[in-house]
Amino acid sequence: MRKKTVGIIGGAVLIAALGVSVFFLLQTQPAQESSDNSSSTALDSEEESIVLTQQDANDVISIDIANSTGSFQVVRTAEAKEDENATFAIAGWEDLSMDSTIWTLANNTASMNADGIVEEDCADLEKFGLDDANAVQVEMHFADGSSYAFRIGDVASNAEETYFATADSDTVYTVKTSYLSNFKKSDVDFVSKTILKAPESEDAYPIVQKFTLDRKDMDYQIELDYDETSQNEDTMAGTASSHLMVSPVSAYLNVDRSTPVITGMFGLTAEKVVTPHPSDADLQQTGLDDPYGVATMVCDDGNTYVLRFGEKFKEASQDSSTETVYYYVYLEGVDVIYQVSEENLVWATTTPTDLASKLMFGTYVWDVGELDVVVDDVELRFNVSGSDSDDAVVTKNGETTESERYRQFYSFLLNTTAETVELNGNTTGKLLAEIHLVTQNGSLEQDFKFYEMDNFTCLITKDGQSAYTCRKSYIDTLLHNMEIYDTDEEFTTNWS
């Protein structure tokens, strides 16, 4: 009876052992041979992770990486401080800003656990992508002189795990893919795509004293200068922009359209890094030795930023369904060629018309000292003294006039809007009107003349230079308002 019982138990154990063996044979097949999306089951309990290495990421001094893109080394550029981790860079590019993902190489693997063992003493590493021809080879070096080398293989079928083996063993483990995926990137992928870092807060931005833009499709330079009076509350200029266009024409700026042009280099991000430390041949090949355009930003903190960009080119999407326009870009002082989309490179396409405000007048009503308006044979010549409506004294053609009536008329003039910027207008047409303005302190003098271009359009010159166009109906409205000045009739403030 005892022998029979022992035999039954032994048979049961044998059957169970065979069942377990079959189970693990099925579960330890590599991802590409699996018929479902379940992860490989480890020989060890899934509840127990396997310690592979236990070091401090801040003690990593270098990492040697060889993958399908080539071989490169990551080096520690600064040791950890009390409240900051160590910093790393690609060897040879220590002068360049790195992407934050470079920290993950040390942080994810200096101290690392495996989720489980797939196969011990594996005789066919190729099926896991861990053979010499396919594996990513990594060796980490630590400050204490020790090192840890390992191989990274294919992603398992569930995508959440990747096959892994140490350099001196053929035991195949699974490790979280998120820990290992960045080792498959190229060295260029770790260079920051941020071309010029933005200040941390709005208050930290420097004042852009001068911005210039030169481009091969323009026979003029766009220059936008900081308006020192923009911070003077007493001036109360008529535009929100703190800058003025001084070339190719003097004009107020549209704040929404001009701000990205003036300060847009801060925070400018590339689609990709093309070539760190480019050679002269690289610059020539990308057209950056003789650039299509150059944007220059001069700041009050002593820094000047010069951004060069080449001719535009197109790249198709991966499925070839769309094309995107790009430019090669190089910021002097940052030795990298970047690729930037046309959408982000506003300087490649902006024009004076895009930047200029349609408002022609911006002087505060009580800053005006002299105002002369002439249409045909009708003339209104104003002289103003005083700093506000309470103490202002206004004369019209030598006689006192109510300051409020003058304010209403000047408010109409403030609404004078241009249609377009016109740099090469012909002044041979009939002179229709002239407006001349001088401020009380003499700091600003402006002279606008309106010339007939056709039955519907006027050319406007500013200080003798072709500047804008406007609708001819504006002149009719201006003359009407001049003629009703001495009445109680409300001024017309729009024209078709």
What does the alpha-carbon distance between residue 403 and residue 405 come to, in Å, rounded to a whole number?
5
Each residue of 29-84: pLDDT tens digit?
Answer: 444 333 333 333 344 434 467 999 999 999 999 999 999 999 999 999 999 998 89
**Which residues, 6+ apart, have CB-to-CB distance to 8 below 8 Å?**
none
Predicted TM-score (pTM) of the model is: 0.80
Band of residue 387 on the pLDDT scale cut at 50, 70, 90: confident
Residue 177: predicted pLDDT:
97
Q: Tell me, what's the pLDDT at 6?
A: 33
pLDDT tens per residue across span 430-459: 999 999 999 999 989 999 999 999 999 999
**pLDDT-derived band of residue 241, with 50, 70 and 90 as boundaries?**
confident
Find the range with the poorest average confidence among 40-54, 162-176, 221-235. 40-54
What does the pLDDT look like over 50-64, one tens digit per residue?
999 999 999 999 999
Mean pLDDT (whole number) for 297-320: 93
CA distance 376 to 464: 19
How high is the mean pLDDT of the chain?
89
CA distances from 355 to 246, 307, 350, 351 (A): 12, 19, 8, 7
Give the residue-averaged pLDDT of 323-348.
97
pLDDT (0 to 100) of residue 62:
98
DSSP E strands in 216-283: the ranges are 222-226, 243-247, 251-252, 272-276
- Of the pLDDT bands very low, low, confident and very high (cuts 50, 70, 90), residue 232 is low
Query: How is residue 95 written in tokens?
Result: 């002068």
Share of the chain above pLDDT 70, in %: 88
In whole angstroms, give the CA distance from residue 115 to residue 39.
11
Residue 429 has pLDDT above 60, yes or no: yes
Q: Where are the domains of the chain?
A: 32-183, 202-355, 365-483
Q: What tokens were used for 232?
A: 């003077």
Indicate if the pLDDT at residue 5 is higher than 60. no
Token pair, residue 57, equals 């990421």
pLDDT above 90 covers a percentage of the chain that reads: 77
**pLDDT over threshold 80, residue 238:** no
3-state SS assignment for residue 404: helix
